[in-house]
């Protein structure tokens, strides 16, 4: 019989943490939200209040339901108030020193049976678990923003995570209305490892003058029916967040595929972080100067019949997905689920592959390689295996 629990703690009540607290309270759990001081606590309470008020205004919940949710929420500045919690989710900023402080306290305060989860999107869950005396009861539970809306959660296990811990958290994820994808502890997990290099590819094409911002974004909306283009998405996510994910991927894999675009790094250094800073690729009145489009290279790329701008962004992401599947890290279903429910894709990468056919994707990747437009040295073996009537030597 799986462990059952009713009281949940959430440490860190920024936009994401407040959303997580709301999600659990809506699902019937008693939730204690913890912040570092009273000012931060009031901001967190305000996030929840604003979100619930919006839900009532849009008739997603009734006034009575709102009152019941409020009654299940408690806010405090003392981590000691989590001494009877059955499950705690940490959602503090992405700094290992902060995680170390939080998990050290939680390990001391919470009963031995309490499951501890981190919402990290970029740090090592294994390293975080090793900070405690209960690594078998520690895992990642990665929500997507806004947490009350986005359906995906990535359940991230380490080499030490107990099978029962994984089973319990997976069931809890379903109970709170989420679609869980369970994967191992690897940089970027599934969604970020596929989404952020795609954003980075868009920055590279823009930086090299192949297309304007508007052309880059419009091409992908047309090619894959995405709700927004990659540069608009970068502004929304935060360019600093994108850069941090690229650097984490680079640190783990040391593959040129994960080298951040120079322009991305310069934009972050200049404080052009996107929507939250009021300045990014689109945000703010002082738009960055468009890279020159007068060079012969950009002209040659635009004239190449084998290269479509939208496909130059979709094909590498399909290749990344096929490598992930081929490595055994995730199934095709997991990859498509992660991108649909975590990133708003109408169709996942393998579904996009089925639409195009392997030959079309390989043709795009090879042509991009000839122009130095991708760091992918050769198409993924699993992608090559899908080519019709061709024998492949993968020695």
Catalytically annotated residues: 121, 142, 154, 192
> What is the chain's alpha carbon radius of gyration, rounded to the nearest angstrom?
22
The C-alpha atoms of residue 48 and residue 70 are separated, in whole angstroms, by: 9
Burial of 349 (0-12, 13-18, 19+ CB in 10 A): buried
The C-alpha atoms of residue 114 and residue 111 are separated, in whole angstroms, by: 6
In order, the DSSP letters of 45-68 are HHHHHHHHHHHHHTTSS-HHHHHH
The 3-state DSSP composition of the chain as helix, strand, coil percent (nearest 5) reads: 55, 10, 35
Is residue 215 within 8 Å of residue 232, measured between CB atoms?
A: no
Q: Which residue has the tokens 């084998």?
A: 306
**Residue (of 78, 126, 77, 118) closest to 98 by Cα position:** 118
Beta bridge partners of 155: 141, 182
């Amino acid at each position: 019989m799986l462990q059952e629990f009713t009281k949940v703690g959430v440490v860190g009540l920024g936009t994401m943490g407040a959303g997580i607290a709301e999600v659990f309270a809506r699902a019937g759990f008693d939730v204690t939200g913890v912040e570092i001081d009273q000012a931060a606590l009031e901001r967190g309470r305000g996030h929840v209040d604003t979100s619930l008020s919006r839900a009532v205004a849009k008739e997603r919940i009734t006034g009575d339901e709102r009152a019941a949710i409020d009654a299940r929420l408690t806010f405090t500045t003392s981590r000691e108030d989590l001494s009877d919690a059955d499950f705690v989710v940490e959602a503090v900023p992405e700094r290992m020193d902060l995680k170390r402080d939080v998990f050290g306290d939680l390990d001391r305060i919470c009963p031995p049976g309490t499951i501890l989860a981190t919402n990290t999107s970029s740090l090592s869950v294994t390293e975080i678990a090793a900070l405690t005396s209960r690594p078998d009861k520690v895992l990642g539970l990665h929500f997507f923003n806004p947490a009350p809306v986005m359906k995906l959660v990535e359940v991230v296990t380490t080499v030490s995570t107990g099978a029962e811990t994984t089973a319990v958290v997976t069931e809890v994820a379903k109970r709170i209305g989420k679609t869980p994808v369970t994967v191992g502890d690897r940089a970027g997990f599934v969604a970020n490892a596929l989404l952020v290099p795609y954003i980075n590819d868009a920055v590279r094409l823009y930086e090299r003058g192949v297309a304007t911002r508007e052309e880059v974004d419009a091409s992908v909306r047309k090619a894959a029916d995405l709700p927004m283009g990659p540069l608009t998405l970068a502004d929304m996510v935060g360019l600093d967040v994108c850069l941090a994910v690229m650097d984490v991927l680079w640190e783990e894999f040391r593959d040129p595929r994960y080298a951040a675009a120079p322009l991305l790094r310069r934009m972050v250094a200049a404080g052009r972080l996107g929507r939250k800073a009021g300045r990014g690729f689109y945000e703010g009145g002082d738009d960055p100067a468009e890279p020159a489009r007068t060079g012969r290279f950009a002209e040659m790329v635009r004239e190449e019949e084998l290269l479509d701008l939208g496909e130059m962004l979709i094909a590498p992401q399909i290749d990344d997905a096929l490598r992930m599947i081929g490595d055994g890290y995730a199934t095709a279903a997991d990859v498509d689920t992660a991108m649909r429910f975590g990133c708003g894709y109408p169709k996942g990468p393998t579904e996009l592959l089925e639409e195009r056919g392997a030959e079309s994707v390989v043709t795009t990747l090879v042509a991009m390689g000839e122009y130095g437009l991708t760091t992918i040295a050769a198409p993924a073996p699993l992608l090559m295996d899908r080519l019709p009537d061709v024998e492949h030597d993968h020695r």
